[in-house]
Amino acid sequence: MERKLFTALQGDTAEKLNDALSKQGFRRSQNVLYRPSCTECSACMSARIAVRNFTPSKSQKRILRRNAHLDRRATSPWATDEQFDLFRDYLGDRHAEGGMADMDVFEFAAMIEETPIRSRVVEYTNRETGDLTAVCLTDVLDDGLSMVYSFYEPDLQKQSLGTYMILDHIEIAREAGLPYVYLGYWVPGSPKMGYKAKFSGLEVYADGAWQTLDDPEDFNAEKHPLSTDPIAEQVANISLPDLSPRRP
């Protein structure tokens, strides 16, 4: 049975809490932070790219050239009809049976706009046609960028837009002097998540620490224990920032 640790993000301490827990494998969904905590599996591991250790492969360089006609625009987290239409096309092609398949325009707007922290919508537009091609909801942390959710034109499969957005976020982080790009969760042996292991400089959060992913086989799901630490012990090992109000 799937189980998660979670906490609410609210008030003046939201950004500080998000920064601290993101470093410990948590992810944000609107005003909630969560981390998988299943009783019999520990395969879901938060993944991030250490920007200074990243070098694009030959295939990734080709993807960058293939998408050189795209213009990037970062805006405040505000949902648009054009974004929603692209989102529906993406879900219909890639995740028609997923939990988000029935999301309506109001739920989509909530996903984009309900953020208690510093977030941006990064849009990628075809310079020649003006068409919106890809979108990423991105959080700005104190040590990096967190790619909360991304979607793109499903008919442009040969452009590898998902990989391209990660490559571009690495460049954004480099320009901003931020050391990491957080990618969400990686599961060893999962075909859908295998692309994350193709990025050099990848780190995963396992056994309470960030570890360099040199060989995915070192984190094979079959090697994970059948049980995780008791929930009380997991909570006790979480490091919280000082959330006391500042004195005037």
Check residue 246 and give its pLDDT. Answer: 55
- Look at phi and psi of residue 74 and say left if phi exceeds 0, alpha if psi is from -120 to 50, else beta: beta
SS (H, E, C) the chain: CCCEEEEECCHHHHHHHHHHHHCCCCEEECCEEEEECCCCCCCCEEEEEEHHHCCCCHHHHHHHHHCCCEEEEEECCCCCHHHHHHHHHHHHHHCCCCCCCCCCHHHHHHHHHCCCCCEEEEEEEECCCCCEEEEEEEEEECCEEEEEEEEECCCCHHHCHHHHHHHHHHHHHHHHCCCEEEEEEECCCCHHHHHHHHCCCEEEEECCEEEECCCHHHHCHHHCCCCCCCHHHHHHCCCCCCCCCCCC
- Mean pLDDT by groups of 10 residues along the chain of 248 residues: 74 92 92 73 82 98 98 97 97 72 91 95 97 98 97 96 98 98 87 87 91 81 51 63 63
Domain ranges of the chain: 4-236
**Looking at residue 227, what is its pLDDT?**
44
pLDDT value at residue 37: 61
Question: Do residues 49 and 201 lie in contact, with contact meaning Cβ atoms separated by under 8 Å?
Answer: yes
pTM of the model: 0.88
Residue type at 199 in one-letter notation: F
Assign domain 4-236 to its CATH architecture.
3-Layer(aba) Sandwich (3.40)
What's the CA gap between 81 and 30, in Å, rounded?
Answer: 19
